[in-house]
Amino acid sequence: MAVAGVLALQGDFEAHASMLHRAGAEAREVRTREELDAVDGLVIPGGESTAIGLLAEKHDLVEPLRKRADDGMPILGTCAGMIFCAARVDGRAQPLLGVVDMTVRRNAFGRQVDSFETDLRVKGLDAPLHAVFIRAPWVEEVGSEVEVLAEYDGRPVAVRQGAVLLTAFHPEIAGDDRVHRMFVEAL
């Protein structure tokens, strides 16, 4: 059975662990380099992207994460995880993993009160996916190696570059495990 880590520094990592179990993987919380070394792939959950970046720096995880990503380790980043994985964030300096050639805009759809749900067509899925957007980013621009998997209102909200799959929405909230299954299939 594949072992999927969930970066457990900040955010709803328990919900992701539950979805990973449903998708057929063993889920383990990751807070240290040793725990990172023991997993086949990593989920970076939503939460607050600056906090995730600062905590990853504090726990000496940024460089090991970059190295594992460069070596092809599958990563699923959702909402703040998408921001943390981006090469660039529009309008704000913050710690970034920088493993996907894209620029994101934080809180692009508005504040907490502007959160919403919608059904999205996602490339690779046979039916629409119910997506929950909470203070979500969107992708401003992508590099040539980035594949756009879903858009909302003309903006990319799900992308993939190599083994890194990123969503602006929270697939762990809606109860549909297909995004997690896409990730687990890559392990």
Known catalytic residue at 172: yes
pLDDT above 90 (res 95) = no
- The pLDDT score that the predictor gives to residue 111 is 76
| Mean pLDDT calculated for residue range 165-173 | 96
**33: amino acid identity, one letter:** R
With a CB cutoff of 8 Å and minimum separation 6, the contacts of 143 are: 87, 101, 102, 161
Known catalytic residue at 85: no
Query: Global pTM?
Result: 0.95
| Mean pLDDT calculated for residue range 131-154 | 96
The residues spanned by each domain of the chain are 3-185
- Which of these, 47, 88, 92, 86, lies nearest to 69 by C-alpha position? 86
Q: Considering 48, 85, 172, 180, which one is annotated as catalytic?
A: 172
* Residue 18: strand, helix, or coil: helix
Q: pLDDT (tens digit, 9 = 90+) per residue, 7-65?
A: 999 888 899 999 999 999 999 999 999 999 999 999 999 989 989 999 999 999 999 99
Q: Provide the CATH number for the domain formed by 3-185 in this structure.
A: 3.40.50.880
Q: Considering 79, 130, 141, 151, which one is annotated as catalytic?
A: 79
Q: Strands 3-7, 26-30: parallel, antiparallel or unpaired by DSSP? A: parallel
Known catalytic residue at 79: yes
- The pLDDT score that the predictor gives to residue 31 is 97
Phi, psi of 39 (to 5 degrees): -120, 155
Q: Considering 16, 48, 170, 180, which one is annotated as catalytic?
A: 170
